[in-house]
Amino acid sequence: MTTLIVDADSFAYAAAVAAETTVEWEPGQLSVSADADEAIAEVSRKLRNLKKELEADKLVLAISDASENGWRRKVYPKYKAHRKERKPLALQAVRDFLLSKGAYLRPTLEADDVCGILATNSKIVPGPKIVVSIDKDLRTIPGRHFSPLKRDEGIVVVDAHEANYFHMMQTLTGDVVDGYPGCPNIGPVKAKTILAETGIDFGKSYWDAVVETFEKKGLTADDALVQARVARILRASDYDFKQKKVRLWTPPQSS
């Protein structure tokens, strides 16, 4: 039985936007209204189609807690602090609907964290599973992935080594959308070069290379650690289920 673990934030947002109507009464005077029932019908349709497309037996949905409550804000206070755009009017109605259908929402966690935890815990969601998300950050989670924005790629398998590599890539490059900078002036091309010069032949790990790069920019290992922790999408090992708290990522010990 195949289960889809769906980052439902983007589905909810898109459905809420599609249900809005803007009327310009006169130049410069606009009003916006939304049909919550239409938004709910739209998100339901999209999720049904997704299940059919991937020939899945079950959907498990995840939605984010409010950004201001997120655990990453405590690690890096500027995380997503720049986001000031208006939320679609019907968004809360769609979120409430998804919660009524059993969607996971956990305090301080984003939807991608919930997806990462569920994807790497065989007890909560047993059997074959596919993580569905438009967020490239989910590639830091080992497992099978599907992006609705990249249907031509089909289902992409990410192993543990690749997932750890993507995590270090995100640490170096940062994420403008999420508001954390990574290492100054390090883009994807440079980051790939840096991480390529690791392993037995070079006598250093991914993490060694990341710290070295930050230090060359006048920063410290602690600065690198902050970025790595913010970039980390949680796996089951990063969450204390009894205490319901995040276990902050710790670099592997150098051998």
CATH superfamily membership of 3-19+33-159 = 5'-nuclease (3.40.50.1010)
pLDDT tens per residue, range 122-174: 999 999 999 999 988 888 999 999 999 999 999 999 999 999 999 999 999 99
Each domain of the chain, given as residue ranges in start order, spans: 3-19+33-159, 161-246
Paired tokens of 4 = 């889809």
C-alpha closest to that of 178 among 140, 219, 148, 208: 140
Three-state SS at 101: coil
Q: What CATH number was assigned to the domain covering residues 161-246? A: 1.10.150
Mean pLDDT of the chain: 93
DSSP string, 132-152: E-S-GGGGGS-EEEE-TT-GG
Cβ 233 vs Cβ 177: under 8 Å: no
Give the residue among 11, 4, 91 at the shortest CA–CA distance from 44. 11
Summarised one tens digit per residue, pLDDT across range 59-116 is 999 999 988 889 999 999 999 887 778 899 999 999 999 999 999 999 999 999 999 9
